[in-house]
Chain A
């Protein structure tokens, strides 16, 4: 039995509100409550990015929260999946185009599953997370490791060469 088959049996969820209205957060907490009880699938809502597998983001990315979002995503060890929960997290929703809002979270981090709805119902959230588990099982560590791009730097004719503009380097020794 491979170790990766145990990933779907104990997914630990990290929940982050990137600046929404708290509607989806209430629905996520409803999943933990006795009626839907996602702990029966072994899911725990950890508050700790270093020990969690699924990043569940609600709300659109605001200018204040984007750095935190990327930071939290970077702190999660691989393998990890991202579920954007609700219309705002997927596209920006009703906040799209506002001066403080940057739209969906997929502009900053890769998203695996989009859950629609405003706010997303608990059944939909559970469905989305189960969908994410299938993706999580297939992911390998190599897939998510950072790679160095083998591409030469773009040099355009319109680009200024700063060396040409600046004066001569004069050695003063």
Chain B
């Protein structure tokens, strides 16, 4: 009973936790630029304001796909937190992103199309690495289940540090942070796929961003296994790393992003897999 209670509470309050993380991140980012920054609850103020705006939709399918993106992302997060199959979690996340891509292609706006193209390319950049990491976990623990990571006697970080480095390399792509924020690119294509959403339908996309934070930080936490202190340290480290990287780098174009992912992140994950197989066979 107690094992289920904490994940269920985490799932129910995932948007709230993600919103707080996003608000805190905006403050940290502002302080890094020597500004004061918005209040901590700023994302929730935005949320409540957007609820009051007039709803303008392009067409009903577009709005529906936007909401389904949010729902399926929440579902993927629920499967992850309840200790489900890691491959299933990765593909559910892929499903939610592909719904967003469909929404982007369903309008006639050229920026929306560009955003969809670039989101598809960023999936191509991070998805193989995630799957290789999941396969490494399988080789090590003998199961794709997330719960088997917690049953494993040692934190995964000590067994496969290269996989953690590969995850660090693709997290900026996944969370749309600079230098790999081509999919969102506010100055260039004004948000990409989220461009045509407004009012309460934009809220779904905006909240899905918070859920993505919870999703990614849970993936980071998995590397600590049962060690809670190590997990907290990893999350703080990744938070600072992402924000420092976001503030200190300029955007690269999608070709450079794909090349970096294929030439650096994917080989690192692959070498990690080979080392684990070598380690197990010895």
Contact of B195 among A9, A42, A50 (CB under 8 A): A50
**CA–CA, A14 and B69, complex, Å:** 26
**Contact between B38 and A77 (Cβ–Cβ < 8 Å)?**
no
**Contact between B195 and A6 (Cβ–Cβ < 8 Å)?**
no
A: interface residue count bin: 20 to 34
B198 at the binding interface (Cβ < 8 Å): yes
Contact of A40 among B37, B190, B191 (CB under 8 A): B37
**Contact between B191 and A48 (Cβ–Cβ < 8 Å)?**
yes
Residues of A within 8 A of B53 (CB): 53, 77-79
A6-B48, A37-B30, A42-B45 known; A51 vs B198 contact (CB < 8 Å): yes
Q: How far is the CB of A148 from chain B (nearest CB, A)?
A: 18
Contact of B34 among A34, A48, A50 (CB under 8 A): A34
**Contact between B45 and A6 (Cβ–Cβ < 8 Å)?**
yes
A47 at the binding interface (Cβ < 8 Å): yes
**Contact between B39 and A42 (Cβ–Cβ < 8 Å)?**
yes
A100 at the binding interface (Cβ < 8 Å): no
Residues of B within 8 A of A51 (CB): 50, 197-198, 202
**CA–CA, A141 and B53, complex, Å:** 8
A107 at the binding interface (Cβ < 8 Å): no
A48-B195, A50-B196 known; A40 vs B38 contact (CB < 8 Å): yes
**CA–CA, A42 and B45, complex, Å:** 9
A10-B42, A10-B45, A50-B202 known; A37 vs B36 contact (CB < 8 Å): yes
B: interface residue count bin: 20 to 34
A39 at the binding interface (Cβ < 8 Å): yes
Contact string against B for A residues 35-79, beta-carbon threshold 8 Å, 1 for contact and 0 otherwise = 001011110001110110100000000000000000000010111
**Contact between B35 and A37 (Cβ–Cβ < 8 Å)?**
yes
**Contact between A39 and B35 (Cβ–Cβ < 8 Å)?**
yes
Q: Which of B46, B53, B56, B196 has the most CB of A within 10 A?
A: B53
**CA–CA, A39 and B39, complex, Å:** 9
Contact of B45 among A9, A34, A77 (CB under 8 A): A9
Q: How far is the CB of B43 from chain A (nearest CB, A)?
A: 9
**Contact between B42 and A42 (Cβ–Cβ < 8 Å)?**
yes
Residues of B within 8 A of A39 (CB): 26, 30, 35, 37-38
For B109, the closest partner residue in chain A by CB is A50
Residues of B within 8 A of A141 (CB): 54
**CA–CA, A4 and B49, complex, Å:** 7
Contact of B38 among A42, A75, A79 (CB under 8 A): A42
Contact of A50 among B30, B42, B197 (CB under 8 A): B197
B33 at the binding interface (Cβ < 8 Å): yes
A3 at the binding interface (Cβ < 8 Å): yes
For B42, the closest partner residue in chain A by CB is A42
Q: How far is the CB of A56 from chain B (nearest CB, A)?
A: 16
**Contact between B54 and A78 (Cβ–Cβ < 8 Å)?**
yes
B3 at the binding interface (Cβ < 8 Å): no
A34-B35, A42-B38, A78-B53 known; A10 vs B46 contact (CB < 8 Å): yes
**Contact between B54 and A50 (Cβ–Cβ < 8 Å)?**
no
Q: How far is the CB of B173 from chain A (nearest CB, A)?
A: 22
Q: How far is the CB of A128 from chain B (nearest CB, A)?
A: 20
Contact string against B for A residues 1-17, beta-carbon threshold 8 Å, 1 for contact and 0 otherwise = 00110110110100000
**CA–CA, A78 and B46, complex, Å:** 15
Q: How far is the CB of B189 from chain A (nearest CB, A)?
A: 9
Residues of B within 8 A of A42 (CB): 38-39, 42, 45-46
Q: How far is the CB of A42 from chain B (nearest CB, A)?
A: 5
Contact of A7 among B52, B195, B197 (CB under 8 A): B52
Q: List 3 tightest A-B contacts by C-beta distance, closest first.
A: A50-B198, A47-B190, A77-B54
Residues of chain B having any CB pair with chain A under 8 Å: 26, 30, 33-39, 42, 45-46, 48-56, 186-187, 190-191, 195-199, 202
Q: List 7 A-B contacts (CB under 8 A).
A: A7-B52, A9-B49, A10-B45, A40-B38, A50-B56, A51-B202, A77-B54
Apart from A39-B38, A77-B199, what 11 extra A-B contacts exist at CB < 8 Å?
A7-B49, A9-B45, A34-B34, A39-B26, A40-B30, A42-B38, A46-B190, A50-B196, A77-B54, A77-B56, A79-B52
